[in-house]
Chain A
Amino acid sequence: MTAVADFARPPILELRALRKSYNIGTPIEAEVLHGIDLTISRGEFVALIGPSGSGKSTLLNVIGLLEPMTSGDYILAGQSVAALDDAALTLCRGNTLGFVFQFHHLLPAFTALENVLMPSLIRSGTFSASERARGLELLSRVGLREAANKKPGQLSGGMQQRVAIARALARNSPLVLADEPTGNLDTHSADEVFALMRQFNLEEGTTFLIVTHDPRLAARCDRIVELVDGQIRRPASWTGTDS
Chain B
Amino acid sequence: MPTIGFALTVAVRFLREGRFQSLLIIVGVAVGVGVVTYISALIDGLQGNTIRRTLGTQAHIVVKQIEERAVPSLRAADSNIAREIQPRAQRTRSIDNWRAMMAEMQSTPNVVAATPIAAGAGLAVRGEASRSISLVGIELEGYDRIVALREKVVGGIARVAPGEAMIGLQLAQDLGVGLGERIVIRTGGEASDNYKIIGIFDLGSRELNRRQVYVSLKSAQSLLNIPGGVTNIYASVSDLFGARETAQRLKARTGYEIESWMESNAQLLSALNAQSISTGIIRGFTAIVVMLGIASVLVVSVVQKRKEIGILRAMGATRWQMTQVFLMQGAIVGLIGSVLGVLFAHLLILLFMTFARGGDGQPLFVIALQWQLSLKVAVIATICGVLAAATPARRAAQLDPAQAIRL
Measuring CB to CB, which residues of chain A are less than 8 angstroms from any residue of chain B? 57, 61, 64, 66-67, 86-87, 90-91, 93-95, 97, 99, 101, 105-110, 118-119, 121-126, 167
Known A107-B308, A109-B14; contact A125-B3, beta-carbon cutoff 8 A: yes
- Bound together, the chains give a CA A126 to CA B4 distance in angstroms of 9
Interface pair A107/B5, CB less than 8 Å apart:
no
Within 8 A of A (CB), among B191-216: none
6 cross-chain pairs, A with B, having the tightest CB-CB distances, nearest first: A94-B316, A125-B5, A125-B3, A66-B402, A109-B13, A109-B17
Find the B residue at minimum CB distance from A64: B314
In the complex formed, the residue of A with least CB distance to B318 is A90
By the criterion CB–CB under 8 Å, are A105 and B311 in contact?
Answer: yes
Q: Is the CB of B2 within 8 A of A86?
A: no
CB distance from B109 to the nearest CB of A (A): 51
Instruction: Return B236 CB to nearest CB of chain A, in Å.
Output: 56
Contacts A110-B13, A123-B2; A66 near B405 (Cβ below 8 A)? yes
B142 at the interface (CB under 8 A from A): no
**A94: which of B3, B315, B320, B400 is its contact (CB, 8 Å)?**
B315
Q: Which of A64, A101, A108, A122 contacts B312 (CB 8 A)?
A: A122
Cβ contact within 8 Å between B316 and A109:
no
How distant is the Cα of A101 from the Cα of B400 in the complex, in angstroms? 16
Bound Cα distance A94, B317 (Å): 8
Known: A91-B316, A122-B316. 6 other contacts (CB 8 A): A66-B314, A90-B317, A105-B405, A121-B6, A122-B6, A125-B3
Which residues from 83 to 111 on chain B have a C-beta closer than 8 Å to any C-beta of chain A? none
Interface 0/1 of B300-344, CB less than 8 Å to A: 000000011011111111111100000000000000000000000
A22 to chain B, nearest CB (A): 11
Which chain B positions have C-beta within 8 A of A121?
Answer: 5-6, 9-10
State A110–B17 Cα separation when bound (angstroms).
9
Q: Which A residues lie within 8 Å of B311 (CB)?
A: 99, 105-107
Contact B316 A123 (CB under 8 A): yes
- Nearest to B18 among chain A residues (CB) is A109
B253 proximal to A (CB < 8 A):
no
User: Using Cβ atoms and an 8 Å threshold, which residues of chain B touch A87?
Assistant: 318-320
CB distance from A184 to the nearest CB of B (A): 14
Is A93 within 8 A of B402, CB to CB?
no
